[in-house]
Every structure is written in structure tokens, then in C-alpha cells.
Amino acid sequence: MTISQKIIAVHSGKEEVKPGEFVLAKVDLAFANDITAPLAIEKFKKWGCRKVFDKDKIVLIPDHFTPNRDIKAAQQCALMRKFSKEYGIKNYFEVGRVGIEHIFLPENGFILPGDLVIGADSHTCTAGALGAFACGVGSTDLAAVMATGKIWLKVPASMKFVYRGKLPAWTTAKDIILYTIGDIGVDGASYMSMEFTGPVISELSISSRLTICNMAVEAGAKNGIIVPDKTTEKYLRERTDKPYNLYQSDLDADYIDIKEYQVEKIQPQVALPPLPSKTIPVSQIDDVKIDQVVIGSCTNGHLEDLRLAASLLKGKKVHPEVRVIVIPATPEIYLQALKEGIIEVFIKAGAVVGPSTCGPCLGGHMGVLAEGEKAIATTNRNFTGRMGHPKSEVYLANPAVAAASAIKGRIAHPEEVV
């Protein structure tokens, strides 16, 4: 079996599972945000449920329309807050102490190798970077998990992605996953497990691994996963003393397909609207003027991402016709960036630094685009209307490309501003 199949088998009380098989699996962690939790809570109460399956294994995170963008958002968060108190859910995190869920959870020791994690958000697959089976579900499924502690799953088949070689200058984990999605398409891994491996993956930080697994769903995958190693265990030792289980794929595990890449060939990528799969090297892009730059999100709001962007913006100014929004993914990341002088670099360059929120990524608030405007963002989606008006456009890139573009006023290669 593959690592994903092994985790599902253990949580289903089975010695073996096969792709396509339906199972009822025990859940180690369930979470939702201020958009998806209220719907789950409504269903949970409609069913007459009197208690949650485990008060310690549910996490409620207000991170999408927060700090509250309007009255409706405030009511959504108030509902979560009230539900947490009523049912004794300990892990409700208030604004000021919460970050973007997919980065906040690993950072605070909630995600463990071998866990089965269910989140009412499509980018739950991010958690696979720590060797957990993690997938997004709808709010009704999340309500059932909150009540029973179990999830009904179809076991996914697996695809293996092997990366070898040495990353070129300015090429990052974001470019690896953009290039991969560009290769296989937005449905290239439909309902499959994307297993990322190879010498290049082994050398990546946990932050970079989170970035790669975050975008597995953009290829249609059920989950993304990386076999845990010494880097994983070091990361965990700094955050938790909880026990966990390490799994790895069998040498004779069956894969639908195995894709191999030499990363020397991967230049910094840009995904053209309206799909994450429409990728080309930034060096080949035409003169595309931009109105807005977003650096942050659950994809690239890590400290290493902010450091990279700041290394280009230091001592320079944002183009006078461009607005730049920087969003650290969690308060911890924000604080460390502050200590390192990174926040000062952004502000002196002419950027605005916002609180940890999903905000502009989903066209929610704090950076909505007007008709005809173009943005380059380190986020994960560039669908039509994703960041605002249906006639606006979003281009996806890594933090270095985003920073270079902020300076030039058009989509630019980092080499142009170094």
C-alpha cells in the first residue's frame, strides 16, 4: 500500500484497503472556519446532536472574513463562538491569536504524522506535508464528523511525483507545484493522492512542503502527502510532545502513474488567468501591467516567503501605480518578521501589512479587485472573479516574482531588480 492507503486502513480498522473501496474511518482532527463552520453547526443542531465526539479534536478557526468585514461576518463568528462555549470545544481561537488555518494548525502542533485530518476547506490537503492523510469536505460531512468522529471515504488511487536535481536561482516550492499542475492539468490527479518525493523534496523546509501540498487540490487531488523524515520530526519536536505514527509507502506499492522531473528545467513560473494550470516561465511573459500585488496566504505566507520578498524590496520602492498587500500567515510569523525588520522593509517600500487573514485570496476583503484590474499574487487560485470583479485578472507566482513585479509595475523576473 501507499502511505495514504496505510493511514486510511489503520483508521478503518482494516489490514488493507484498495483504491475505490468505501470505508468508514476514524478522524483524529476536524476543523472548520468562519465560512464553513456555521453551516456545519446548523446541520449538527438540526439533527438534534447533544454533544461532539471529542471536545479536544475539533478546532474552529475564524480566518476568512476576519477581522469581521461586515455584520454578516460578525454574526458568523459569533455563532462559532457561542457553539464553542455551549459544547465545550476548547480549540476555538479568537482574532489576534489565530492565523490562517492551514499554517496555524501545523505551527501549533495540531497536525501529526499518521493522522487522518478532515477540514471543511478545500486546502486541508496542506497538512499532508507532515505525513498525515488530510482532505477537505463539505460542511454537512463536517457536521457528521463532529457528531460521530468518523468520515465516509472512497480510498483514492495514488500518483507519485519524483523531483531530482538542483533548484535554479529564484525557483521555489511554489514553482515546483505550479509547474507540476501545468504539466498534468487541473484534473490531472482527480480524486487521487498526490505523493511528492525525491531528493529535492527531502531537502525542502516544512514551509516549502506545506506550499506544495497546499496546491494538490488545484490538480483535482483528494490529498497531497509527503512521507515524514528527520526534517518532519525536528519540526514536530519544537511544537508538540504528542505521540504519532510514521508510515511510508511500500516499495511495491501500486501507483496509477509516476511522474519524474529534473528541477533544473523549472524556471520561476507564472500561472495565467483563469487556471492554475496555465503556467509559463516568467521570462516568457508579455508586458503585463499590474494594479495589485498580494504576498501571503496559506500558500506563501510563511516566514521564508516574507524573507524572500523583503530581500528584493529592501531599499527599493513599490511602483507608484501599484498597491502591495502583505499578509503574514500567523501572528507568530508576523512577530518574527517584525523582529527581523522585515515588516519595516515592506512599509518603507510602500506596502501595507495586514493581519493574518484569508481576506484578498478569496475576494473577501482587504484587497478586492475592481473591474479590469490585474493582480499578481502568491495565492493558490486565479479563477475568474476569484479576487473580486469577474472582469479582473489574477496571476499566480512565487514571492520573489511578486516582489519584483511590485517594483517594476509589471510582471517581472527577480533578476530585473537585483
Give the Cα separation of 132 and 125 in Å (integer): 9
What is the Cα 105 distance to its own chain's centre? 11
Task: Note whether 379 and 271 are within 8 A (CB).
Answer: no
| CA-closest candidate to residue 293, choices 169, 213, 408, 415 | 408
| CA-closest candidate to residue 30, choices 91, 128, 119 | 119
**361 assigned binding-site residue:** yes
Task: Note whether 36 and 121 are within 8 A (CB).
Answer: yes
Cell numbers given for 91: 480549540
Give the Cα separation of 406 and 69 in Å (integer): 26
**Contacts of residue 390, Cβ cutoff 8 Å, sequence gap at least 6:** 384
**49 assigned binding-site residue:** no
Give the Cα separation of 305 and 229 in Å (integer): 22
- Amino acid letter, residue 347: I
Cell numbers given for 45: 443542531
Cell numbers given for 10: 489503520
- Amino acid letter, residue 152: W
- Amino acid letter, residue 111: I
**135 assigned binding-site residue:** no
3-state secondary structure of 117: strand
3-state secondary structure of 140: helix
Give the Cα separation of 26 and 337 in Å (integer): 38
> Beta 116-119 vs 29-33: how paired, if at all?
parallel
- Amino acid letter, residue 214: N
| CA-closest candidate to residue 328, choices 314, 320, 340 | 340
Cell numbers given for 76: 458568523
**In which region does residue 366 sit, left (phi positive, over 0), alpha (psi from -120 to 50) or beta (all else)?**
left
- Annotated binding-site positions for [4Fe-4S] cluster: 298, 358, 361
- Annotated binding-site positions: 298, 358, 361
